[in-house]
Amino acid sequence: MANAGRNFSLTDELGAFVDEQVKSGRHVSDSEVVREALRRYQDDIRREQGHLDYLRKLAERREADIAAGRYVELTTPNNVRAHNRNRAARRSRAAA
């Protein structure tokens, strides 16, 4: 194993959790618990990065829309309601 021999300190609470996982038979060793936790953390970070990439692209498209004048200015609650009704009607027609 390339990184054998690393040592980590855990809080009492996390240490008890690791012990519980091994004792329950879910994992065969402390190291296995930590490896799974790190894999899940790595997956979380990758998923989060994917979400951020999507949001950046969406923001770029919307900024381009604004620069090209493709937007609707809604200044009153009545404008918002009318706009939403029109969008719903267009979606209904498109789905039919």
With bands split at pLDDT 50, 70 and 90, how would you rate the model's confidence at 55? very high
For residues 92, 94, 80, 78, the Cα torsion angle rounded to the nearest 10 degrees is -60
Residues 18 and 30: beta-carbon distance below 8 Å: yes
Compute the mean pLDDT over every residue in the chain, rounded to the nearest whole number: 94
With bands split at pLDDT 50, 70 and 90, how would you rate the model's confidence at 5? confident
Residues 6+ apart with CB under 8 A from 22: 28, 29, 30, 32, 33
With bands split at pLDDT 50, 70 and 90, how would you rate the model's confidence at 2? low
Block residue for tokens 């329950």: 24
Residues 27 and 36: beta-carbon distance below 8 Å: yes
Q: What is the pLDDT of residue 32?
A: 97
- pLDDT over 90 (residue 88): yes
pTM above 0.85, yes or no: no
With bands split at pLDDT 50, 70 and 90, how would you rate the model's confidence at 6? confident
